[in-house]
């Protein structure tokens, strides 16, 4: 399923009018982060989109020359406008496909052009190639927004970690089967939490379960886990109860992994997740 949303990314660098040196260039790391966030939100970053590019100055007399120069490279003129601070802005656009490196390389070219005309290249935005629509997003894609909480329970620390991005997940009724996996661990006798070595083994075990479900084409999402007094519980949600049961039983019966128990709970209201969220701070 796809829905339409508006994703606009403008990396503004205000207050650099008529600068000969582009001192506040957008770093590659920021562009990579933007693409990563788009992909995690379900945006197909390999499709052609409408990219906008912005130049600014306290005078607009060079803008026509800039627009003509870039017209030869396929850029279309959109508008020249004046902001509230009296600065002038030139907006150009081009339909194209970008990845972080190609966008960074284009930015470098635009900085050179801005220096040539003694104006400032300020950044870019991106939208649907159809201006009457917003960018499409796959609503089954869920970003990773993990939060952690450390609190006392029965006089011992309890560690809680989970992905709070499911707050607005629109397919909860479909994905209503919560797989609860329980395993004991080697613990520090003072605080009853896993040793450093055991923490690594627990992470590998969780990944093994997730990976086996995925390899067997069982759709699944990792939701949250709790760690307390020698016991680790982690919860994975799926829309295929029978398939998940078969896969996890095979793992359990093979005896090639650590000892564990599991159960699959039907929870159409996502009460398990809601209880987790009540404990987890919003900020």
Q: What is the pLDDT of residues 222-262, one digit of tens each?
A: 999 999 999 999 999 999 999 999 999 999 999 899 999 99
59 and 157 together in one domain: no
Model pTM? Answer: 0.72
Identify whether residues 171 and 264 lie together within a single domain. yes
Domain limits for position 153: 146-279
Tell me what percent of the residues of the chain surpass a pLDDT of 70.
Answer: 92
| 219, 263: one domain | yes
- Which of 138, 168, 201 is the last residue in one of the domains? 138
Split into its structural domains, the chain has a count of 2
Strands (E) located in 37-129: 49-57, 76-82, 88-96, 120-127
**What pLDDT, on the 0 to 100 scale, is given for residue 283?**
63
Domain closes at, from 138, 166, 201: 138
What pLDDT, in 10s, does the model give residues 61-119?
Answer: 999 999 999 999 999 999 999 999 999 999 999 999 999 999 999 999 999 999 999 99
- CATH number (domain holding residue 239): 3.30.70
Q: What is the CATH number of the domain that holds 95?
A: 3.30.70.970
- Residue-by-residue DSSP string for 227-273: EETTEEEEEEEES-HHHHHHHHHHHHHHT-S---EEEEEE-TT-HHH
**Quick one: 98 and 217 in the same domain?**
no
Query: Would you say 19 and 120 are in contact if contact means Cβ atoms under 8 Å apart?
Result: yes
Question: Per-residue confidence at 8, pLDDT binned at 50, 70, 90?
Answer: very low
Phi then psi for 96, rounded to 5 degrees? -165, 170
116 with 172, same domain: the answer is no
Verify that 115 and 231 share a domain, yes or no.
no
**What pLDDT, in 10s, does the model give residues 115-134?**
999 999 999 999 999 999 88
Whole-number pLDDT of residue 1: 44
75 and 97 both lie in a single domain: yes
Instruction: Kindly state the tokens that stand for 183.
Output: 């395993």
List the strands of the sheet with 146-153, edge to edge: 146-153, 156-163, 220-228, 231-238, 177-184, 261-266
Residue 129's pLDDT is 93
């Amino acid at each position: 399923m796809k829905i339409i949303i508006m994703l606009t990314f403008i990396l503004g660098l205000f207050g650099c009018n008529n600068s000969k040196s582009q001192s506040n260039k957008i770093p590659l790391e920021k562009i990579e982060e933007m693409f990563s966030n788009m992909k995690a939100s379900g945006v197909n970053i390999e499709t052609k989109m409408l990219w906008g590019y912005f130049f600014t100055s306290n005078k607009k007399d060079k803008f026509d020359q800039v627009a003509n120069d870039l017209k030869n490279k396929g850029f279309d003129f959109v508008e020249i406008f004046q902001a509230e601070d009296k600065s002038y802005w030139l907006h150009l656009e081009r339909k194209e496909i970008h990845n972080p490196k190609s966008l960074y390389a284009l930015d470098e070219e635009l900085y050179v052009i801005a220096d040539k005309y003694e104006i400032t290249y300020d950044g870019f935005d991106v939208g649907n190639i159809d201006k009457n629509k917003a960018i499409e997003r796959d609503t089954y894609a869920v970003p990773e927004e993990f939060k952690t909480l450390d609190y006392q329970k029965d006089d011992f620390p309890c560690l809680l970690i989970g992905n709070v991005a499911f707050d607005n997940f629109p397919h909860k009724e479909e994905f209503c089967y919560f797989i609860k996996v329980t395993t004991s661990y080697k613990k520090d006798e003072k605080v009853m939490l896993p040793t450093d070595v055991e923490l690594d083994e627990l992470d590998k075990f969780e990944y093994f379960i997730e990976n086996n479900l995925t390899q067997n084409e069982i759709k699944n999402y990792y939701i949250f886990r709790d760690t307390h007094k020698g016991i680790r519980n982690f919860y994975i949600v799926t829309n295929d109860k029978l398939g998940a049961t078969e896969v996890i039983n095979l793992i359990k019966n093979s005896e090639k992994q650590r000892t564990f128990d599991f159960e699959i709970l039907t929870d159409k209201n996502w009460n398990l997740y809601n209880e987790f969220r009540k404990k987890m701070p919003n900020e």
